[in-house]
Structure 1
């Protein structure tokens, strides 16, 4: 009698199970390798921005100011846009004119026609490969000051300039902050009394949820990508509600949890926005700036009013964020860093002693 050789059903199931186990063992290793490569690419992007910042300072004897246009503070070009010639984007820079505002009107404004094309140009240098969000945002302009309520496309960025701690009254970058830039600032590297290796220049953050009026966040990931829309920034109950010379008139408390709980229950909270990082070209804080008020990868949402506010550093890298310092070095700062040490990295001349973290 002739017999036919082959697998029995049990043998076939065993082989399939072994293959599944091998794939299960291999997949985490592949994911780790992929994330390591993405983190390295992210660090390289930040290093290029750090070198560009040095070259800009060498050429102009001053670091670029945030959102600068003499006589105005709304809707103008970002520091990232001003660094274009120093990251091999001279052709793109030539499409911009820094002597006129980027937008017309406000809340937000209409892009001027000549800036529509560059605004929607996606630059891989400005994108962290670990953040898989879409590269572009659709932003609807307001209807004030000549804005027409139209939709405009912006190319986003994960890399933001350090504008300080946001403590107390320092969240309003229209006034001098303790970071390296504010509106019409003129900071030099020699002004960094804490040392260039102890002062942050750029940090990364996750792109928003791609909605101008986002729904209320329901999980941690959404909270990392969503902002409060606040009519006035927050009150520390121990101080009077108006501070002379401060536009918003309120003081941010030391404890981020206090800021969060008050913001949640505040009648000043008028909804949510998902525009974080929406446009590398725009000198609006929620587009291109960050602070060290919230700890790295905080689950507490950012907050914004007319651009200024509270903006954190966040990433999809497990356990921390990449930060470029003013000496051009890039370090991975872990989520476990103490809040005082984290905030010390934001200040240019705070005089803090920063422990090893």
Structure 2
């Protein structure tokens, strides 16, 4: 009797092998994703550490921390702290394209980018981007039509890293006047003014980029709420620059509880839609592009708010369970979403006298 050697799998054997491979891939993919996210989080922390150390080098050179934008006849802001730190993060050539004694834009809001600043405004810097946020690097923003602005589209390179302008409680969200953070408009803060201690005070936090459109629809999911802001009617334009009184002319004072702020804002006649421009331009000293507060807890599902560029601006990330925080001593730590709001706000103030006992 002649026996033939079998040189192939049966169909059942083949299906079993495919099933085993699928199971192995299913087990392997989460591990690969976890390793990839760990690497991204580490890269993000390194970026933020460079920014925190740049602040120290700036202070050494100027005997002051960098001020948040500057006002010379306009409430719309000027160049950002990020722009002023360029020489201290090995971007001297890009810094040489900027002239800080001339405003970034003309008119509002935002204004037309001056021709000499169009190229630097759209220059993407990996230092300003968290690798865990896969959003596009650039935004197209249409200028206003007042004060000389002509309603054109301008391209800006975005940023995930924002400077700490305080707790935001009460009227401290209005950084045109002094806040309890490390910077506000035309601030002159020194290291010695951080009396809570540099290891207990935030310098930079991270946030997710907006949704790449100026007027997105109302959010319907938590993911959307983290990337859009409520647009509040610009009712706080002041006849004096800076204004004599912080906050909206109508007396907009933030309650201690963020849920109260959200319900108040949604019900208010001031609410006029939504904005997707969070983090839209690292070069600009508009709060909702380059600043944040500690009013909302990390990764809050309560949307931010902006009016005339200022507002309530939180810290968020795609890192699992928390956000990176760069402190004024140059260190970076991962802060979990479970942190108490009291402790989180303590990191936001430079002079609150709080004792931080948990992270």
Structure 2 length normalisation: TM-score? 0.95
Task: Work out the CA distance in 1 between the residues paired with 2:235 and 2:336.
Answer: 28
Secondary structure, counterpart of 2:47 in structure 1: helix
Task: Select 1:197's aligned residue among 178, 196, 199.
Answer: 199
Task: Work out the CA distance in 2 between the residues paired with 1:67 and 1:89.
Answer: 19
- Any gaps of 5 or more consecutive residues in structure 2? 237-242
Aligned residues: 349
- Deviation (angstroms), 1:266: 1.9
1:246 maps to 246
Any idea what the Cα deviations from partners look like across 1:160-179, whole Å, max 9, x if unmatched? 00000110010100010000
1:120 maps to 122
Contact 1:67 1:73 in 2 (8 A): no
1:237 maps to none
- Deviation (angstroms), 1:71: 4.2
2:84 maps to 82
Task: Select 2:17's aligned residue among 15, 18, 25.
Answer: 15
Task: Select 1:219's aligned residue among 196, 218, 221.
Answer: 221
Task: Work out the CA distance in 1 between the residues paired with 2:170 and 2:162.
Answer: 21
Task: Work out the CA distance in 2 between the residues paired with 1:119 and 1:301.
Answer: 26
- Deviation (angstroms), 1:70: 4.0
Task: Work out the CA distance in 2 between the residues paired with 1:299 and 1:270.
Answer: 20
- Any gaps of 5 or more consecutive residues in structure 1? 235-242
Any idea what the Cα deviations from partners look like across 1:11-52, whole Å, max 9, x if unmatched? 000000000000000000000000000000000000000110
- Deviation (angstroms), 1:108: 1.1
Contact 2:63 2:190 in 1 (8 A): yes
The 3 A distance-change label for structure 1 pair 324 and 120 is: same
Matched, 1:256 2:247: no
Task: Select 1:269's aligned residue among 268, 271, 276.
Answer: 271
Contact 1:67 1:74 in 2 (8 A): no
Secondary structure, counterpart of 1:345 in structure 2: helix
Task: Select 1:34's aligned residue among 33, 36, 42.
Answer: 36
Task: Work out the CA distance in 2 between the residues paired with 1:47 and 1:54.
Answer: 11
Q: Which shows bigger deviation, 265-274 or 148-157?
A: 265-274
1:153 maps to 155
Contact 1:164 1:291 in 2 (8 A): yes
Q: Aligned runs of 1:124-203 on 2, under 5 Å?
A: 124-203=126-205
Matched, 1:355 2:357: yes
- Deviation (angstroms), 1:75: 3.6
Secondary structure, counterpart of 2:167 in structure 1: coil
Task: Select 1:340's aligned residue among 342, 346, 355.
Answer: 342
Contact 2:176 2:246 in 1 (8 A): no
Matched, 1:46 2:64: no
Any idea what the Cα deviations from partners look like across 1:251-284, whole Å, max 9, x if unmatched? 1011011111122222211000000000000000
1:97 maps to 99
1:107 maps to 109
The 3 A distance-change label for structure 1 pair 215 and 67 is: same
Contact 2:48 2:332 in 1 (8 A): yes
Contact 2:71 2:77 in 1 (8 A): no
The 3 A distance-change label for structure 1 pair 15 and 233 is: farther
1:331 maps to 333
Secondary structure, counterpart of 2:348 in structure 1: coil
Coordinate RMSD, CA, aligned:
1.4
Task: Work out the CA distance in 2 between the residues paired with 1:195 and 1:257.
Answer: 30
Contact 2:76 2:109 in 1 (8 A): no
Structure 1 length normalisation: TM-score? 0.95
* Runs of 4 or more consecutive aligned structure 1 residues displaced over 4 Å after TM superposition: none
Any idea what the Cα deviations from partners look like across 1:213-271, whole Å, max 9, x if unmatched? 1111111111000000012689xxxxxxxx97224132101101111112222221100
